[in-house]
Structure 1
Amino acid sequence: MALLGPTLTLASIVLMELHRTRAKKKASDTLEDLAFIKREFGIMQTFLVDAAAATTSASFKLAWFRRIRDLAHDAEDSIQEFFLHVEKPPRTTSSRLLLPLDAITKQMRNLRREIEHVNQSCGIYANAAFRFNTAAAPPQSNSGTRVAASRNALLIGRESERSHLIKLISQDQEQCETIFICGMIGIGKTSLVRGVYQSKNIGSIFEQRAWVTISHPLNIREFVTSLTQTNIKIVVITKDAIIAEHCSTTCKYIYKLEGLKDNEAPALFKNKVFMDSSNIELHPDMTTQAKLIIKECDGHPLAITNIAGFLARKPKTTTEWRKLNDDFSAGSRRNRSLEMISTALAPSYDDLPYHLKLCLLYLSVFPKGHNIRRRRLVRRWVAEGYDTSMNAEEVCANYFAELINRNIIQPSEKIAHNASNIQYCHVHNLIRKISISKSMEENHVFVFDSRFVKHGTIRHVSIINTTDMDKNILKDADLSHVRSVTVFGEWRASLDSRKMRLLRVLDLEGTSGLKDHDLVQIGNFLHLRYFSLRGCVDINQLPDSLGNLWDLKVLDVSGTNIIKLPKTIVKLKKLQYLRAGKVPKDDVLYSSELEESSDLSKMVHGAIDDVELPDLVSKTVQFSTKLDTTAAYCTNIVQNTDKVKKRDIFHKYYNVLLPSIPWGIDIYGVEAPDGIGQLNDLWTLGVVNVAVGKTILRDLEELKKLHKLGLTSVNQKNSQSVMSVIANLFLLHSLSLRAEGDQGLEDCLDHKFSPPSKLQSLKIYGNLVTLPTWITQLQNLTKLKLQSTQLKLDLSLEVLGKLLHLAILRLWMNSFQGKELCFNFQQETFLSLAVMELKDQEGLKSLTFMQGAMPRLVLLQIDNSIHIDENGLSGVSSLPSLREVMLKGDHNEELIKNLRDQITLNQNQPVLKGA
């Protein structure tokens, strides 16, 4: 027995050493597999870029492309899951979500074998890419026929554009200016210009004319020798708007060709279907079907021509046309209508580089007709890893600009000529159909709606809730590879972290019916990089488990009822964008970002359970220090509300808003926890209440990478410290300052202060009376918004007019003092201003632009100018760069008539909208 103990001990040591040796070998094998997969992943990415540029569409090569792409996705997933196990310190999380290390290493081993098998059986990726690029291009006969047909087609529905272009050429023939016609592929640019070129009007003006086709890539020698004239009018057709903007001397010579109008498209459709019998009267049922077909074509001439040509060869019956519309509705990628559309618009997709193809496919996440916010889209691309550089957001913003300039996506409301000023875009209906078809073909995006059918591997999920949609729609779907989930409409699904282990993007923006308890599992999505609850008005707090999301880069909870961020947020060291706080009901510019979906358009900020918070209560919540006063108002609200809702309403008012009163919180900002200064990668932060918290100002000063900052509750007590913090944020590009109440910001911003030299955007909300002296130092300032500042008019305009780089100026309600406001913009002021917006200036009596003022103004927008009389607006004809005048709200009819007369006299011929 005495020898037994040492023997057992020795045996244990030998056994432990044996296990350790095996573990070392296993770890070595795993690291070898990891290195192999990482190396092959880089090669596969290069292959995918090269293969995407190939012209061939042979099915076996496309299958090869998809196989490599799927392997690349699997490789990336395995690498990320492996790193979750080796990160230090480890995260505390649910074991049911995180795969055991043995399972991951087994996955990696199997993946390596599969990659090696593909290599051995099909050759190295580089050779495959070579075969892609050297494959014979598909026959061009169809394309040539299509172009020929387009050239010989009657110029239907373009009479006004044709007349305008002829007039422009005729008026400016002595100046030899170059005119640019830009628009998406197939929109009719060539047909329009050819119609002008062949017109008798132009023939009588020019003795010699030439039609020159420039090859791509450009052979400059051939091009120059083809131009034998020294004095030419040149009309350039391009699908890339950036070419026109760079080369044209003035916007007057850039003509953006849009789709056919509602009354023009039917004429083209009937002409192509019935040939010489285009005046035939259609049966009401056929008219209905024709309207549906034309609507799907979204005013696109080439798509209308292709589909009408197809119908011309079919029996001209309601039944036949209904079949075509059923094709559209079915959403199948293998239907006649989509094939015809693809034929018309395929070059729009095929000509894109690989990174832009990915971006375009990603747009199929959004529903038909949806206004897509630029920042939302760009930040999602970053989260998906479409660019991994240090300035990834800037790179992805350039991707957005490229798609705009190529006319692949279109601005919903273009406020200036620069793509960076476009806040919203939408996808042409036909382009969207192609992107959906390609996405489903490549297992890129899948849309769950009432027409859901089972599908293969799914990586991006879009849930479009409809009234007849099954609540358990995701129950049977394989979501193990899903990287993003986006919900539109009412929240009906559930977040099952076990089924979506690899989730990177969770976008619930504008989702109605989402409650706090729906977020319980959020801390289990360890790969999450983008999380948005923007506009989810029933969310009152974030769970502490949010602190598990160490990879999170974007967190947007603005427009919710969250007034305090959890302490665990300080663990999110990779967080770059953090936005929170309520949105003022009168802040249309920002709140419009929250109204993208039909649900959000009905939302009233500051309202709970459809009961609007009275102004008196709102003020009490912000400024009162007496609990009993607000409690009395809460009780009053309950007494005047439906009995069923009494308990819930009182609970929310009392428990959500009431706790904020002792701390002085206003509803436009949130309380940030101590230690938020540890989030060293923060790029954007707002809106933070600086009147609460012991260390908030000290923490803010630590955030040296901040580019955008929004602060509220600035007051006389903390203002000097606030300004000191701002002065030390050297990279700050955008700053928003707010203070509520009668005192507002008065005497708060006048401290000795050196503003950050890079500051480009400034927003000020709250009583100010006089502009701070340091504003004259903001020589890089390009955007300025003022609201409720109650400034003295003449002195303030004199100061602002000298800001050399100011490009966008928004003067909103109560930005200036006085019951009668007379804006007089003097000569040589606002020399760089491109956008001028006057909103809700109730006392506005007159608006005058002197000769030489605002020489670069592109857009003039006036909201609610009912008090301006017919002669109160003058000098519009002298604005040399003006493209558009936008009137919103109520206006004097005589004023509009006078304005039209002035616009007619403006040499740039701007358009008047909204009147």
Structure 2
Amino acid sequence: MAESAVLYLLSKLESFVGNGIQQERDGHEEWMSLMREFERIKAFLKTADSMEECNEEVKVWVKQVREIAYEAEDVLDEYKQLSGQDHQTEGFLRMIQTSVRNRKARHRLISAMKSISPRIKSICEGQQRLFDGFSTTERGSSSTSSYEDNKWQDHRGDALLVEKSDLVGIEEPKKELVEWLVQGVSQCEVISVVGMGGLGKTTLTKQVYDDPAVKKRFTVRAWVTLSPSLRTEDLLLDMLQQITSSIMKTVPAEAKTRDSSCIRTMIKDLLQKRKSKYLIVLDDVWDMNKWDAVKCALPNNNNGGRIMVTTRKSDLASASGTGCAGKVYNMKPLSAEQSHELFCRKTFKEKACPSHLEEICRHILRKCEGLPLAIVAIGGVLASKDTRRIDEWELVRRSLRSEIEDNEKLKNLKQVLSLSFNDLPYYLKSCFLHLSVFPEAHNVECMRIIRLWVAEGFVERKEGKTLEEVAADYLDELLNRSLIQVAETTSDGRVKMCRVHGLLLEIIISKARDQNYAIIDQEHSELWPERVRRLSVHKAFQVAQQNRSLSHLRSLLMFGVDRSSVDDALSSEFNLLRVLDLCHAPVGRFPVQVLDMNCLRFLSLRSSHIQTIPSSIGNLQNLETLDLKDTHVMALPVEIAKLQRLRHLLVYRYETIAYSHYKYGFKTPADIGALQSLQKLCYIEVDDERNRRNILGLGKLDQLRRLCVLKLRREDGRNLCSSIAKLTNLSSLAVYAFDDEEELDLHHLSSPPPLLQRIFLRGHLQTLPSWIANLHSLVKLRLRMSCLRDDPLESLQNLPSLVHLELLHVYNWQTLRFEAKGFMKLKTLGLDLFDELEFIQVEEGAMPCLGKLIIQRCKLLKDLPLGIEHLKMLKVLEFFDLPDELVQKLKPDEQNEDYQKVAHVPEIRYAYWREQGWDVTSVETSVEEEGSRLQSSSMRSSELPPCWK
């Protein structure tokens, strides 16, 4: 982590020196000297960062580097902040204040540099001593690679020798994988087992590898473990030895002296000539180069060869480039029942959990989140505790983080979970540690994470990409490495929410604290270090109790706090604060203290109670994200146009009551077109003369990715089309008419944005704009209250990328027909408020990928869609406020012919809105050994959304 701190500092230094400090005689040499010293350190840091866990001297040196880098960054930021405080004054007074403040800033700068310079020289001398030591006696014995390899060998060996008593929930996945191996095509197949560390990938694969049916099927087998330090030649030689052994041959003597290319040829020839069914297991693949080296050696001999791969990286699960087909098995955590069974086996030796310990054990199991390695390891610790001493058990529950850090019995668990973190490049380590600021079991919106990373300065600029796009790549890489988990996806396949496994969160919280990266304040449980850079407050906060200054704080996030905690936190002086996240905070007015935070880049008051924004918001010249979603702010002052760096402006809220959906945005007299850095603008209202002028100004926002416009009048449609045509980066467009009777005139858009993927329109259209049917990249379309004169399905059914379609009172259908080979990619279909609709037909071959079908408020529809049985991929079927005649046909009854048409659908729900609440019935089907089992349950809910928001 020191590497990321130093590289971040160097980038700021280069920008600082290049932007005028070289013109100042005093201090110039100090800054240049500092840059040279940190450049010298940088070369050694990559190795030192990964060695600090195994060498105490290196750990101390890395900490010194990190602290001095932070201190130098503080000085730099303070100088910039002081010298930039004169923006609020004009004329002669401004000139005087500028001169005084600049002199003050330079004086502080030079004094600080004179203090830092000798210390950085001392650190560089320490680096030289360390480097000399490792280059002679310690390089072979204490190197990073050998240390990491020892940890790797430890957890590999443990995974291969798991006791039978520790195997729970393995039979079903084992059965499925065995079937994949022994059945299927004659061509070579790659079967990948993917998941985070500790899920039991190696254990499961070893059980499959040793299965009698697998042994019988594959006469040539080899299990190769890919140690981080294992050379490619040694890996291939190990494989060659196992292959020759299985066919009763000896390895050619010359193989040991040949390079990897020759050994690959020997393996390929051997397998090709014998035409044997082979099974090669590559356990714990991390390195794409090693994976590629092995793939080239394994022929597709059309004799049923199989390659099994275990990995934490989903991109390595691909079989591309091998000429082989591929299947991926994504490991799942144990269910609550399986977790409890495994825990009791390990902790209580097959006995039941004592009743007085049940609550403690439930809490610990929730923390384990179905991770078998964690359940076994923590169960082993608790097995030695006296079941009569509830205080001992409670202590483990309360101090689980320190137990993972210090308890020798949990050493392997920590190593397994830490391996993925240690494998990260420096830029991803910063991003991943940042997730420690969120509370346990907290699902986090991906765009919130991306905006925070950008505001923190973690994201490197890359040509041709916005910072947000680079940050999205970072997030994808962490998902790919199984370090974060998908919590929720959108209907068109994008990851919407994600989370960190509870135990992994405990580890990164410890790392964040050790490296003074972030402090997590949970009810005053810990003392803070002298300089706090990031602070995440959970539940309550009183800075006076800590007796610490927050003047160096860069980020403040608060979760579940009361009003007094917010007031207490904001009473501190935040000269350098970049991020203030008060989402869901009980704030009734815009905090005036925020207006003095000149360095602020990210401000979120989402879901607070504020109603107005002061005109002095224009002071926050560095602001990039202003998130006022789900507040009661309905207008922005003209000064909002001063925020030239603003990238995300979110001012809107929803209200949903039964079938009524209300959206509220904001009005402003400001020229929105002046905010030319904007990427997301939601929702701007344009229903009066002053705000209608902004419609043409929207065309100036050439960075815009998402645009939402409310209360559009018919006569403004041409101007809006003119603006939209200029937004070549636009990917999402929402336009809502002034009311449901107003016409949307959007037919003047002859050249729509080429990257447009999502469109949401509400208002009369009469005819479907022709440009919509030509959007090959369109994945999601929502049309409401369109009242079209012509059937739109003919022009929509051939859209090649469409996966989500919602139609509400779009056309006066009596018969709605989905033709064969239409909507080939569609996965979600919603139909709502078609008063004349009597009949729906699905031709065989239509919508072959449809997984969710929702139909509601069609009062004449009394029969199930004809041909619904053709929708083989259908997983969810929802009917809301439909005639009783149709609903009766959904009742589970094996003699009911209509029900048999939908018996293949796992989830069937139907509901009625009655007396301000939904009466919901859920019908689930599941297949057991004896056949089909039908379940029916009812519930009442006032919050259930009828279809979509």
Which TM-score band applies after superposition, normalised by the shorter structure?
0.7 to 0.9
How far off its partner does 1:143 sit? 5.1
Instruction: Give the corresponding residue for 1:157.
Output: 169
Instruction: Give the corresponding residue for 1:168.
Output: 180
Check if 1:294 corresponds to 2:365.
yes
Residues 310 and 474 (structure 1), Cα distance of their counterparts in 2 relative to 1, 3 Å cut? closer
Q: How many percent of aligned residue pairs carry the same amino acid?
A: 28
Instruction: Give the corresponding residue for 2:669.
Output: 673
How far off its partner does 1:769 sit? 4.5
How far off its partner does 1:477 sit? 3.2
Count of residue pairs the alignment pairs up: 792
How far does the alpha carbon of each residue in 1:72-130 deviate from its partner, in whole angstroms, 9 at most, with x for none? 22222322332345559734599999994133442333233432332244449988998
How far does the alpha carbon of each residue in 1:407-431 deviate from its partner, in whole angstroms, 9 at most, with x for none? 111111235796xx00001111111
Tell me the distance in 2 between the aligned counterparts of 1:366 and 1:251. Answer: 40
Tell me the distance in 1 between the aligned counterparts of 2:677 and 2:624. Answer: 9
Secondary structure, counterpart of 1:699 in structure 2? helix
* Structure 2 residue identity aligned to 1:241: S
Indicate if the aligned counterparts of 2:685 and 2:710 stay in contact, CA closer than 8 A: yes
Alignment partner of 2:457 out of 369, 385, 389: 385
Check if 1:779 corresponds to 2:757.
no
Tell me the distance in 2 between the aligned counterparts of 1:181 and 1:139. Answer: 23
Compute the TM-score of the two structures, normalised by the length of structure 1: 0.77
* Structure 2 residue identity aligned to 1:696: N
Instruction: Give the corresponding residue for 1:52.
Output: 49
Secondary structure, counterpart of 1:901 in structure 2? coil
Residues 56 and 287 (structure 1), Cα distance of their counterparts in 2 relative to 1, 3 Å cut? closer
* Structure 1 residue identity aligned to 2:430: L
Secondary structure, counterpart of 2:506 in structure 1? helix
1:717-736 equivalences under 5 Å are: 717-736=715-734
* Structure 1 residue identity aligned to 2:666: V
Indicate if the aligned counterparts of 2:492 and 2:780 stay in contact, CA closer than 8 A: no
Tell me the distance in 1 between the aligned counterparts of 2:712 and 2:131. Answer: 60
Residues 144 and 266 (structure 1), Cα distance of their counterparts in 2 relative to 1, 3 Å cut? farther
Indicate if the aligned counterparts of 2:640 and 2:670 stay in contact, CA closer than 8 A: no
Unaligned residue ranges in structure 1 (runs of 5+): 1-23, 589-614, 620-666, 907-911
Unaligned residue ranges in structure 2 (runs of 5+): 1-20, 240-263, 272-277, 279-300, 882-886, 893-897, 907-924, 928-933, 938-949
* Structure 2 residue identity aligned to 1:149: D
Check if 1:423 corresponds to 2:436.
no
Compute the TM-score of the two structures, normalised by the length of structure 2: 0.75
Residues 329 and 142 (structure 1), Cα distance of their counterparts in 2 relative to 1, 3 Å cut? closer
How far off its partner does 1:779 sit? 2.6
Moved more, 821-830 or 867-876: 867-876
Alignment partner of 2:600 out of 520, 528, 543: 528
Tell me the distance in 1 between the aligned counterparts of 2:655 and 2:184. Answer: 49
Alignment partner of 1:440 out of 513, 525, 530: 513
* Structure 2 residue identity aligned to 1:701: G
How far off its partner does 1:778 sit? 2.0
How far does the alpha carbon of each residue in 1:318-373 deviate from its partner, in whole angstroms, 9 at most, with x for none? 54433322322889955678756413412122222212211111011111111100
1:439-838 equivalences under 5 Å are: 439-456=512-529, 457-465=531-539, 469=540, 476-489=547-560, 490-491=562-563, 492-494=565-567, 496=570, 499-511=573-585, 513-516=586-589, 518-536=590-608, 538-585=609-656, 668-692=664-688, 693=690, 695-744=693-742, 746-751=743-748, 753-791=750-788, 795-806=791-802, 808-811=803-806, 814-817=808-811, 824-833=817-826, 835-838=827-830
How far does the alpha carbon of each residue in 1:668-713 deviate from its partner, in whole angstroms, 9 at most, with x for none? 2212333332222222222112233263134222222222221111
Tell me the distance in 2 between the aligned counterparts of 1:252 and 1:884. Answer: 24
How far off its partner does 1:55 sit? 7.6
How far off its partner does 1:821 sit? 7.6
Indicate if the aligned counterparts of 2:712 and 2:744 stay in contact, CA closer than 8 A: no
Instruction: Give the corresponding residue for 1:283.
Output: 354
Secondary structure, counterpart of 1:493 in structure 2? helix
Alignment partner of 1:395 out of 448, 454, 470: 470
Tell me the distance in 1 between the aligned counterparts of 2:605 and 2:121. Answer: 43
* Structure 1 residue identity aligned to 2:483: I
Tell me the distance in 2 between the aligned counterparts of 1:173 and 1:781. Answer: 35
* Structure 2 residue identity aligned to 1:816: V
Indicate if the aligned counterparts of 1:446 and 1:461 stay in contact, CA closer than 8 A: yes
Moved more, 356-365 or 764-773: 764-773
Tell me the distance in 2 between the aligned counterparts of 1:181 and 1:348. Answer: 16
Tell me the distance in 2 between the aligned counterparts of 1:393 and 1:338. Answer: 38
Residues 31 and 143 (structure 1), Cα distance of their counterparts in 2 relative to 1, 3 Å cut? closer
Tell me the distance in 2 between the aligned counterparts of 1:331 and 1:886. Answer: 47
Tell me the distance in 2 between the aligned counterparts of 1:486 and 1:801. Answer: 46
Indicate if the aligned counterparts of 2:818 and 2:846 stay in contact, CA closer than 8 A: yes
Indicate if the aligned counterparts of 2:815 and 2:839 stay in contact, CA closer than 8 A: yes
Instruction: Give the corresponding residue for 1:375.
Output: 447
Tell me the distance in 1 between the aligned counterparts of 2:403 and 2:611. Answer: 38
How far off its partner does 1:546 sit? 1.6
Instruction: Give the corresponding residue for 1:180.
Output: 192
* Structure 1 residue identity aligned to 2:191: I
Secondary structure, counterpart of 1:717 in structure 2? helix
Residues 74 and 408 (structure 1), Cα distance of their counterparts in 2 relative to 1, 3 Å cut? same
Residues 839 and 292 (structure 1), Cα distance of their counterparts in 2 relative to 1, 3 Å cut? farther
Tell me the distance in 2 between the aligned counterparts of 1:484 and 1:521. Answer: 15
1:21-420 equivalences under 5 Å are: 27-38=24-35, 40=37, 48-54=45-51, 57-86=54-83, 90-92=87-89, 100-101=104-105, 102-123=107-128, 135-136=142-143, 137-138=146-147, 144-152=153-161, 153-154=163-164, 155-172=167-184, 174=186, 176-214=188-226, 216=228, 219=232, 222=237, 224=264, 225=266, 228=271, 229=278, 230=301, 231=303, 232-244=305-317, 247=320, 253-273=327-347, 277-278=349-350, 280-315=351-386, 317-319=388-390, 320-328=392-400, 334=406, 341-389=413-461, 391-415=466-490
Residues 471 and 312 (structure 1), Cα distance of their counterparts in 2 relative to 1, 3 Å cut? closer
Indicate if the aligned counterparts of 1:522 and 1:545 stay in contact, CA closer than 8 A: no
Moved more, 553-562 or 421-430: 553-562
Residues 567 and 133 (structure 1), Cα distance of their counterparts in 2 relative to 1, 3 Å cut? farther
Indicate if the aligned counterparts of 1:245 and 1:251 stay in contact, CA closer than 8 A: no
Indicate if the aligned counterparts of 1:55 and 1:133 stay in contact, CA closer than 8 A: no
Secondary structure, counterpart of 1:830 in structure 2? coil
Moved more, 783-792 or 72-81: 783-792
Residues 142 and 690 (structure 1), Cα distance of their counterparts in 2 relative to 1, 3 Å cut? closer
* Structure 1 residue identity aligned to 2:578: R
Q: Hey, which of these two has a bigger chunk of strand by percent?
A: 2
How far off its partner does 1:783 sit? 2.9
Secondary structure, counterpart of 2:566 in structure 1? coil
Residues 482 and 195 (structure 1), Cα distance of their counterparts in 2 relative to 1, 3 Å cut? same
How far off its partner does 1:218 sit? 7.6
Indicate if the aligned counterparts of 2:844 and 2:870 stay in contact, CA closer than 8 A: no
Tell me the distance in 2 between the aligned counterparts of 1:145 and 1:25. Answer: 54
Residues 671 and 893 (structure 1), Cα distance of their counterparts in 2 relative to 1, 3 Å cut? same
Tell me the distance in 1 between the aligned counterparts of 2:712 and 2:665. Answer: 11
Indicate if the aligned counterparts of 2:649 and 2:680 stay in contact, CA closer than 8 A: yes
Residues 332 and 253 (structure 1), Cα distance of their counterparts in 2 relative to 1, 3 Å cut? closer
